[in-house]
Structure 1
Amino acid sequence: MYIESKSDGLEGEAVVGRVYFSKSGKTLYYKGLRFQSLKGAGFKANYFDIETGDFYWISGPRKDQNDRLYGGNRGVLVDDDVRDEYLALIR
């Protein structure tokens, strides 16, 4: 999944990484962070961190690499454990 922090503005730190869903599907987990949906109530964000309240944009990675909400992929990190899958997707 593509995960971009919106806590510091419209373009924040971003990563492509593996997320896990809770049994109910209402919570996403990524490296110790827990996210819940804003259910359409967010501004340029669709999830929030349960612990800190920070906003995030989370979506599936795009084949054209325009993962950022406003396009492009400048500064987007790809976790090592998903790198091969991501490279296969964008080729």
Structure 2
Amino acid sequence: MNARKTRIMYVEDKSGGLNGPARIGRVMMSQSGQSIHYDGRTFQRLGGSGGLKSNYFDVATGEEYWISGPRRDGADRLYPSSARPIEVDADVRDEYWRDVRGLPVPK
């Protein structure tokens, strides 16, 4: 049986503009690597045809997203904004701060 690969990723909704709601969470990759599953949604690669700096779209809604590996320095947004904090899912919180950021887990 093939286990699908999971990974902590940065997921930002670009459907409302350049700075959308963003999360750090665990995604599951398809076997082909062309789609990602996260939070009950399936995202398909845009293949270079995305607008507003997007690289995936939600197959159910067509909304565009930027999905990438999280950065060690935490500067994941393409267009930094302090108005929209990046949420970290509870199930990856400790692993994200310890293994990705290399920092102590915030209290």
TM over 0.5: yes
Gaps of 5+ in 1: none
What residue in structure 1 maps to residue 47 of structure 2? 39
User: Aligned equivalents of 2:31 and 2:45: distance in 1?
Assistant: 15
Contact 2:19 2:81 (C-alpha < 8 Å) held by counterparts: no
User: Aligned equivalents of 1:48 and 1:23: distance in 2?
Assistant: 18
Contact 1:66 1:72 (C-alpha < 8 Å) held by counterparts: no
Q: CA RMSD in A?
A: 1.3
Question: Residue 81 of structure 1: SS of its match in structure 2?
Answer: helix
User: Aligned equivalents of 1:61 and 1:87: distance in 2?
Assistant: 11
The Cα shift of 1:10 comes to 0.4
Are residues 1:78 and 2:88 paired? Answer: yes
Count of residue pairs brought into register by the alignment: 91
Q: Segments of 4+ in structure 1 off by > 4 A?
A: none
Q: Which has the bigger relative contact order, CA under 8 A and spacing at least 6? A: 1
Contact 1:65 1:72 (C-alpha < 8 Å) held by counterparts: no
Identity of aligned residues (%): 55
User: Aligned equivalents of 1:12 and 1:71: distance in 2?
Assistant: 11
Gaps of 5+ in 2: 1-8
What residue in structure 1 maps to residue 16 of structure 2? 8
